[in-house]
Structure 1
C-alpha cells in the first residue's frame, strides 16, 4: 500500500504547476548565483599584466579581513561613508537596504568615529592613530548598532560580511593550486550546495504545506476514510514522494554542473571528483529538504491551514541565511559555506556540519511521525471524515 500511495502522489506532484515554478526558482539560483562556467578556459587566474593587456580590471575578489587593525580601518572608513551619505545598510529580511539616517543617528556615527580615531585617520592610514583596543572598538560598534535600531552591518552578526580587503594575484594563485589539490569539483560542489541550499530552505513549503490539505478540499477524503489505510502509511508515503520529487531538480542541476566541469577538466587536463556535486546535494541540501517539507506538513495539520506554515518557515529560513559561513549550530537548518575553496575551514567545521545534518534528518523523521499521529487523531476511526 505504501508503494502504491507513493507512486500516486509522485505522479500528482508532476501535474502541479507549483512544482514547475519551484524548478524555475532552483534554476535561477543555479544560473545566476552559482553561475557555472560557459567556456573551457583554464581556471588559473591571469596575471595583472595579462588582464591589463586585455583591458580588463585587475581584480581577484576579496578576502576576509583577519587583522584586527585592518578591520578597524575598514569599519572606520565605512562609518565615514555612512556619515557623509546620510544612510546606512541594514539587513531586512532577505534584502540589504539603504536606510536614511536622522541627524541624531548621524551624530551617533560621528561620536563613534571620534572614539575610535581622530579625523586625521581618514587621510593617513597610521595604526598609531587608533585610540582604542580591539575590545573597546567592538563595544563601540555594538553600541552604535543598538542606537541605529539594530540589524546594521556594525553588529556582530553582520560585520564580517560587510566586505574585505582585495585579494592579490598571489592569493588567487594559491587558491587555484588548492582547488587543483582537492579536485576542483569538491570546492565547486560546496559552493553549489551553498547557493542552491538557500532555495531548499523555503520554497518546498509552498508544496508541503498543502499536500495534506488538498485532500480535504476534494473527494479524496471519502476514499481515505473508507479504507483501512494506516495514517502513518498515508502521511509518510506523501512525505517520501514529495521529498523525492523535490530532490530531483537539484540532481538535474548537479548533473549539468558535473558535465560542465568534466568538459573543462578534460580540456585542461584537470583531475576532478565526478561524484562531488551529487555528494553535497545529498549531504547538505537533502536534510534541508527533509526538514522544510516535514515542518510545512506538520504546521498545516496542526492549524488546519497551509498558509500559516509559510510565514513561520520564512522566519526560520531567514534566521539561517547569515553568517555566510562558520555558524553550523543546531539553530541553522540551511548550510552556508559561501566561498570557493576554503578547504582548511571545511575541515575545521566538518564535524559541526555533520552533526547539524544528522540532527535535521532525525528531527525531520520525528516531525513526519508526529504529523502522521496528529493526522490519525483528526481523521478519527475508519468511516469518519477528516476533521
Structure 2
C-alpha cells in the first residue's frame, strides 16, 4: 500500500475516533523510525559537545521537568498565602497607614517570593548536573549551564505563577488564584503532552524539551527553536511585570478606600449560597 493511501485510511480512523488520536497525520510518524547513520551520529555528538558542552543537555532536561511539573504551578501557593496573611491577621489597615509606597511593598514581596522559589531550584539543578560531571572527564564542560537555564528557562515560569497569585489575591481577597493557575497549568500540560520532545509555542506556560537520552537531548532541535523559546520566556516575563503593576494599582486603590473587591466577591458568593438554600428548602 502506498503511504498516501495508508495516511487516508488512518485519517478515516481518526475521524471515527473523534479526531486528535494517534492515527491523525501529525502523529503517524511515531509509528516508524529511521536509523541514524554513523556520520549523523558523529555530527550530533560534535554539536552536543561544541554547543551544549555536555552539561547544557542535562540542564535543559532538568528545566523541562522543573517547569512543566513543578515551577509553573507551585509558586502560586506562597504568593496567595502571603497576600492573605495580612487580612487574616487583621494587619491590612495598619499596613495601609505606613509611609512605604504600594510599589515598594509589592515589588519587595514579589522579588522575595521569586527568590525563595528559585533558591531550591538552583541548588537541585546543580546537584542534578554535577552528578554526571565525572562521566565526562577530559571534556570542556559548561559549569554555568544550570544557572543559565534556571534563570532563562525556569524563572519566567516562576515569575508568572507568582504574579498571578499576587494579582488575583489582591484583587479578590480570596485564594481563587490557586484554582486559576491550577486550571491553566492542567490545560497547558494536557494540550502539550504530544509535543514533549519539542514544545516551544509562544503561549506555552511550560515549554517542553524532553527527549531523554536520545541524540544528546536533541541539541539541533533546541538550536532551531531557540528564538521561539526566547520569545516565549520574554513574553511571560513581560506579562508577569504587567500583573505586578496592576497589583500595585489595586493595592493603592485599596489603601485609599476606593476598592474592596474581596468584600464584593464574598457578598456575591453569600447571595448565591442563600439562593441555593432557598431552592433546596
Report the TM range for the smaller structure's normalisation.
0.7 to 0.9
Judged with a 3 Å threshold, the aligned counterparts in structure 2 of structure 1 residues 288 and 156 are, in CA distance, closer, same or farther, namely farther
Corresponding residue for 1:319? Answer: 187
Judged with a 3 Å threshold, the aligned counterparts in structure 2 of structure 1 residues 131 and 335 are, in CA distance, closer, same or farther, namely closer
Contact 2:163 2:244 in 1 (8 A): yes
**What CA distance in whole angstroms lies between the structure 2 residues aligned with 1:189 and 1:326?**
15
Contact 2:201 2:207 in 1 (8 A): no
**1:288 and 2:164 equivalent?**
no
**1:366 and 2:238 equivalent?**
no
State TM-score, norm by structure 2.
Answer: 0.77
Tell me the C-alpha RMSD between the 2 structures.
3.1
Corresponding residue for 1:100? Answer: none
Match of 1:257 among 123, 128, 152: 128
Contact 1:178 1:341 in 2 (8 A): no
**What CA distance in whole angstroms lies between the structure 2 residues aligned with 1:164 and 1:130?**
12
Contact 2:103 2:248 in 1 (8 A): yes
Judged with a 3 Å threshold, the aligned counterparts in structure 2 of structure 1 residues 164 and 188 are, in CA distance, closer, same or farther, namely farther
Aligned residues: 250
State TM-score, norm by structure 1.
Answer: 0.57
Judged with a 3 Å threshold, the aligned counterparts in structure 2 of structure 1 residues 160 and 214 are, in CA distance, closer, same or farther, namely farther
Corresponding residue for 1:243? Answer: 114
Corresponding residue for 1:42? Answer: none
What are the within-5 Å matches in structure 2 for residues 1-387 of structure 1?
128=1, 132=5, 134=7, 136-137=8-9, 139-146=11-18, 152-154=21-23, 159=27, 165=33, 174=42, 175-181=44-50, 182-198=52-68, 199-266=70-137, 269-306=138-175, 308-321=176-189, 322=192, 323-339=195-211, 340-380=216-256
Task: Describe the superposition over 1:219-248 as per-residue Cα deviations: whole angstroms up to 9, x where unpaired.
Answer: 432430231221121111111100011010
**What CA distance in whole angstroms lies between the structure 2 residues aligned with 1:374 and 1:156?**
48
Judged with a 3 Å threshold, the aligned counterparts in structure 2 of structure 1 residues 338 and 213 are, in CA distance, closer, same or farther, namely same
Corresponding residue for 1:25? Answer: none
Any gaps of 5 or more consecutive residues in structure 1? 1-127
Work out which structure has the larger RCO, using CA pairs closer than 8 Å and 6 or more positions apart in sequence.
2
Contact 1:161 1:324 in 2 (8 A): no
Contact 1:145 1:154 in 2 (8 A): no
Judged with a 3 Å threshold, the aligned counterparts in structure 2 of structure 1 residues 373 and 164 are, in CA distance, closer, same or farther, namely farther
**What CA distance in whole angstroms lies between the structure 2 residues aligned with 1:131 and 1:360?**
41
**What CA distance in whole angstroms lies between the structure 1 residues aligned with 2:28 and 2:170?**
40
**What CA distance in whole angstroms lies between the structure 2 residues aligned with 1:160 and 1:247?**
39
Judged with a 3 Å threshold, the aligned counterparts in structure 2 of structure 1 residues 276 and 167 are, in CA distance, closer, same or farther, namely farther
Rg: which structure is higher? 1
Higher helix share: 2
**What CA distance in whole angstroms lies between the structure 2 residues aligned with 1:254 and 1:170?**
32
Any gaps of 5 or more consecutive residues in structure 2? 264-281
Q: Secondary structure of 1:361's match? A: helix
Task: Describe the superposition over 1:42-71 as per-residue Cα deviations: whole angstroms up to 9, x where unpaired.
Answer: xxxxxxxxxxxxxxxxxxxxxxxxxxxxxx
How far has the Cα of 1:209 moved from its partner? Answer: 2.0
**What CA distance in whole angstroms lies between the structure 1 residues aligned with 2:24 and 2:101?**
51
Judged with a 3 Å threshold, the aligned counterparts in structure 2 of structure 1 residues 356 and 171 are, in CA distance, closer, same or farther, namely same
How far has the Cα of 1:173 moved from its partner? Answer: 5.3
Higher strand share: 1
